[in-house]
């Protein structure tokens, strides 16, 4: 099947799972403007199209530059109503994008600047994703993040927060933020708390620092999945270890080009990872800052990196299999997605 056959519409219809998507990086521009007006917060542009252009980060020199745009979205994400709405709309957008399951991550302390409690900052987006799931069918869960520049005590508190909501829709604990000079091992106690309470863990690593950052995520933090892992390719032994243990790689193509984790789409290691049999999953990272959808990321993989339909179907199924859901739920989603994929395959072959 040629890549010309892999139209955006076909790849939109491909049943997909997204495991790495940030709530505060995936706000609709029109919603940003409306919330800004309601809350008296000035936005850097006055209409949705111009704001979308401003928020897309194509001029970053590094990861830290990319992260600076989040100040804009977070300025209006300080109330329960705003958090519930933004979470609802993200799941609604994912459903339109052919996403059957999505894990949404964020750092709740960033939403408490106007007095919200941490509990309220979790419960509000949970309400939003439950409502969206009921109305649109896409299953959604939350991942609680800490940030590398916060103290280990804050990370431990957030791991405890994640565990407290483990039965209510929070399925994982994560560490995000600038990597350079801020080792994940400082936060090992938080990961240990999450794991010892049967909470799945992921960790951003190998995006803003080298393979040694991935090594810490794997061995010091015990991560079940790896966010980005773009520079894992630099450590052959660790790559073998990660592959042998089927640790999922949450890959974000457009975001990695924007943050200079890779020079171009074509130099991204996703093809090398996939060809070696790694557990590769495609994700958007931040739909707003990267100006992308999950369908767009699959289109890039097809047309810039030479992935064919069967390979993209494998990546899609990897997402369901690597979800932080109970095994029975994953098996059900896998079976449903596999049946849809077979229908799509027969359509394309018969065309």
Residues labelled as active-site residues:
207
Instruction: Assign 19 to helix, strand or coil.
Output: strand
The candidate with the shortest Cα–Cα distance to 204, out of 25, 15, 78, 12, is 25
Contact indicator for 57, 258 with CB cutoff of 8 Å: yes
Spell out a b/e string for 61-71, using b for 16 or more CB atoms within 10 Å of the CB, else e: eebeebbebbe
Contact indicator for 109, 122 with CB cutoff of 8 Å: no
How many Cβ atoms sit within 10 Å of the Cβ of residue 137?
A: 10
Q: In the numeric block, which tokens belong to residue 5?
A: 């056959």
Distance of alpha carbon 298 from alpha carbon 319, whole angstroms: 13
Beta strand segments in the chain, E: 16-22, 99-106, 139-147, 170-176, 200-205, 225-228, 248-251, 280-282
Distance of alpha carbon 325 from alpha carbon 191, whole angstroms: 18
Q: How far is CA 258 from CA 57, 215, 218, 306, in A?
A: 7, 24, 25, 21
* Sheet hosting strand 16-22, strand order edge to edge: 16-22, 99-106, 139-147, 170-176, 200-205, 225-228, 248-251, 280-282
Distance of alpha carbon 125 from alpha carbon 88, whole angstroms: 7
Q: How far is CA 307 from CA 11, 134, 275, 310, 313, in A?
A: 12, 34, 10, 8, 10
Instruction: Assign 167 to helix, strand or coil.
Output: coil
Q: In the numeric block, which tokens belong to residue 229?
A: 């892992």
Angle between the 309-321 and 327-350 helix axes, to the nearest 10 degrees?
170
């Amino acid at each position: 099947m040629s890549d010309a056959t892999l139209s955006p519409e076909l790849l939109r219809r491909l049943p997909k799972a997204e495991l790495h998507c940030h709530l505060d990086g995936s706000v609709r521009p029109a919603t940003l403007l409306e919330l800004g007006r309601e809350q008296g917060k000035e936005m850097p542009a006055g209409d949705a199209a111009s704001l979308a252009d401003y928020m897309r980060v194509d001029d970053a020199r590094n990861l830290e530059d990319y992260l600076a745009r989040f100040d804009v979205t977070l300025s209006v994400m300080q109330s329960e109503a705003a958090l519930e709405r933004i979470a609802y709309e993200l799941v609604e957008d994912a459903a339109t994008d052919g996403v059957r399951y999505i894990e949404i991550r964020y750092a709740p302390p960033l939403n408490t600047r106007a007095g919200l409690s941490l509990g309220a900052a979790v419960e509000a987006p949970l309400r939003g994703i439950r409502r969206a799931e009921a109305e649109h069918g896409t299953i959604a869960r939350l991942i609680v993040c800490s940030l590398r520049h916060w103290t280990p005590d804050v990370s431990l508190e957030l791991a405890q927060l994640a565990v407290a909501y483990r039965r209510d829709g929070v399925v994982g604990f994560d560490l995000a933020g600038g990597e350079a000079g801020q080792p994940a091992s400082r936060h090992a106690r938080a990961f240990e708390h999450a794991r010892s309470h049967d909470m799945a863990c992921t960790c951003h690593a190998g995006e803003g620092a080298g393979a040694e950052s991935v090594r810490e995520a794997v061995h010091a933090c015990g991560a079940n999945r790896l966010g980005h892992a773009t520079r894992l390719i630099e450590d052959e032994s660790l790559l073998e270890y990660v592959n042998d243990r089927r640790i999922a790689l949450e890959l974000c193509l457009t975001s990695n080009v924007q943050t200079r984790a890779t020079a171009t789409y074509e130099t991204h290691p996703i093809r090398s990872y996939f060809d070696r049999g790694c557990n590769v999953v495609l994700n958007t990272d931040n739909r707003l800052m990267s100006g992308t959808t999950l369908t767009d990321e699959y289109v890039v993989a097809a047309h810039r990196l030479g992935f064919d339909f069967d390979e993209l179907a494998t990546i899609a199924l990897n997402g369901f299999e690597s979800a932080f859901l109970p095994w029975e739920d994953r098996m059900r989603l896998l079976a449903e997605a596999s049946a849809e994929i077979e229908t799509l395959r027969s359509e394309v072959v018969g065309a």
